Amino acid sequence: MVNLIQRLGNFVIANVEKLGKTGVFLGTAIFWTFIPPLKIGRIIKQISFIGVKSSFIVILTGSFTGMVLTLQTYYGMEKFGAEALLGPTVALALIRELGPVLSALMITGRAGSAIAAEIGIMRITEQIDALEVMALNPYRYLIVPNILAGIITFPLLASIFNVVGILGGYLVGVQLLGVSQGAYFGEMVNFLGVKDITIGLYKSLSFGLIVTWISCYQGFTTSYGAEGVSKATTGAVVTSSVLVLVWDYFMTSVLF
């Protein structure tokens, strides 16, 4: 019994300590974000890495998500004679929820893991120590460009996800199931508001911060050895994905 309590206490203390270190890491990164000069070249490189190179998987996922969502929604609405509301239902589901969340999860799996692995390898090969020896701040050089790139690219990729999802829904709903094109897009305009789009973008922006923050932290604090990099990569994907879903709930409950 005493051992159980001791283990539980050690577990709680270790996780609280880790939470504190993670918060300090984010605070330090935000501080250096506002200290000029920014590494513009590094930021552009990371925008290309996170954004451009993730666009294919986002487009592919978005299109099939829209198609499946349209099929499922149509078969449910057909029972009540509400097929005319297919367009706005698909659009609202994508823009409010599925677009920001699923695009964030896809980018986490592709880019978040790579960021953690890259920084982790730099840690175990002492490249980060070399930056500090050369008086180059690792936060300014490594962390800030990734976080800014995530904040910029996540909303853009979520918007692409939404557009291709709606078009995928159009192909299934209008071309395959025979829903009126005018009803699909016309009712969408009536039900979709600026607030829906804005909140979706806010979600994506916050997801970009969360994913890059956790991925950078996991890589930056990697323990030495190949096993450490493996754990950092896995931790980056799992922790980021869970936090995206948890934060999505809180944002949805507050903003809608």
Radius of gyration of the chain (CA): 21
- What domain range includes position 75? 40-255
- Euclidean distance between CA atoms 241 and 219, whole angstroms: 16
Nearest alpha-carbon partner for 212 in 239, 231, 250, 230 = 239
Q: What is the pLDDT of residue 80?
A: 78
Q: What is the pTM of this model?
A: 0.90
The pLDDT assigned to 255 comes to 79
- Total domains in the chain come to 1
Distance CA 177, CA 147 (A): 43
Is residue 77 in a domain? Answer: yes
User: Residue 1: its pLDDT value, please?
Assistant: 63
- Give the pLDDT score at 183: 79
Q: Does residue 24 lie in a domain region?
A: no
Torsion of CA 76, 80, 84, 89, to 10 degrees: -40
pLDDT at 238: 93
Cβ-based neighbours of 175, under 8 Å, separated by 6 or more: none
67 Cβ neighbours under 8 A, 6+ residues apart: 168, 169, 171, 172
Q: Is residue 29 part of a domain?
A: no
- The answer to whether residue 109 is domain-embedded is yes
Q: What is the pLDDT of residue 191?
A: 85
Q: The dihedral of CA 130, 117, 218, 9: what is its sign?
A: negative
Is 34 inside a domain boundary? Answer: no
Residue 184: predicted pLDDT: 82
Question: What is the reported pLDDT for 15?
Answer: 67
Q: Return the amino acid letter for 137.
A: N
In a domain, 11, yes or no: no
The reported pLDDT for the residue numbered 2 is 61
Q: Output the CA–CA distances (angstroms, integers) from residue 233 to 20, 154, 216, in the order listed.
A: 20, 20, 10
Whether 9 is covered by a domain: the verdict is no
Q: Is residue 143 part of a domain?
A: yes
- Largest CA-CA distance found in the chain, in angstroms, rounded: 70
pLDDT by residue for the chain (256 residues), tens only, comes to 667 777 777 767 766 777 788 888 888 889 988 888 888 999 999 999 999 999 999 999 999 999 999 999 888 887 777 777 888 899 999 999 999 999 999 999 999 999 999 999 998 888 888 888 887 888 999 999 999 999 999 999 999 999 999 999 999 988 888 888 887 888 788 888 889 999 999 999 999 999 999 999 999 988 777 788 888 999 999 999 999 999 999 999 987 7
